Amino acid sequence: MDECIVAARFIIFVVLLGAAIHCGYGLRENPSRPPITILVVGQTGASTTNVAQVFFTNLGHRHYNCAVTTEVFGNGVWREAPAQFSEAGFALPPGSHGPFWVPIRQDGQAWRVKLVASRALGKMETDVDWLFRCLKLEYPFGKSFQVTGPEMVNQPAEATRNQVSRKFPGRVDPTS
């Protein structure tokens, strides 16, 4: 009788282990879309540094810790822009969205916003993540992901200034 119980428990253990491995491979092979979207509303300013209004929206049901940088395209490669904004790191609660003013450089042909996010882990998950890192493994639910915004073409400062003047007709153009 005891041998039957031990054998049944072993079979259940093997089945559960196989199911966990199968689910783990399914997560690895079928990555889902990132739950955070980037929308560039517009840009204003003059000179070599302009400012763009960017909306980040969390469409998921989890909190995310985010870090944002801007990149410029020049000489055939994307590189991080030297001027970054002060709110580069922030938390994005579920279902939230908010505008951010991001400095953009005019020294490249185009620019884009890059967001790196990871799920905000609770106390227990933080401990499990630490254990995985001690074992030189990667905790599958603590992975960072990257979202890149649309590539925006740089406008000359003169065109940007005229665009702002048209939006606000009462504004005096500083060049006239």
Say which residue, 115 or 170, is predicted with more confidence. Answer: 115
For residues 110 and 71, the answer to whether their CB atoms sit within 8 Å is no
- Confidence at 156, pLDDT banded by 50, 70, 90: low
pLDDT in tens, 94-148: 888 878 887 776 666 788 888 888 888 888 888 888 888 898 888 888 788 888 8
Mapped onto helix, strand or coil, the DSSP state of residue 113 is: strand
Question: Which of 121, 118, 102 has the alpha carbon at shortest distance from 38?
Answer: 102
Query: From its phi and psi, is residue 130 left (phi > 0), alpha (psi between -120 and 50) or beta?
Result: alpha
Out of 2.60.40.10, 3.30.420.10, 2.40.170.20, 3.40.50.2300, which CATH number does the structure's domain 33-167 have? 2.60.40.10
User: What pTM did the predictor assign?
Assistant: 0.60
CA pseudo-torsion sign 148, 149, 153, 155: negative
Q: What is the DSSP letter of 109?
A: S
Q: Is the dihedral of CA 80, 86, 88, 89 positive or negative?
A: positive
Backbone angles phi, psi at 77, to 5 degrees: -135, 150
Which is more confidently placed, 169 or 53?
53
* Residues 27-76 pLDDT 10s: 665 556 678 888 888 776 555 557 788 888 888 888 888 888 888 887 88
With tokens 């740089």, the residue in question is 154
- Considering Cα of 56, then 50, then 149, then 24, what sign does the dihedral take? negative
Look at residue 76 in the predicted model and tell me its pLDDT: 82
Domain boundaries, the chain: 1-31, 33-167
Q: What share of the chain is helix, strand, coil (3-state, %, to 5)?
A: 30, 40, 35
Q: Which has more pLDDT, 78 or 169?
A: 78
Answer whether 147's CB lies under 8 Å from 95's CB.
no
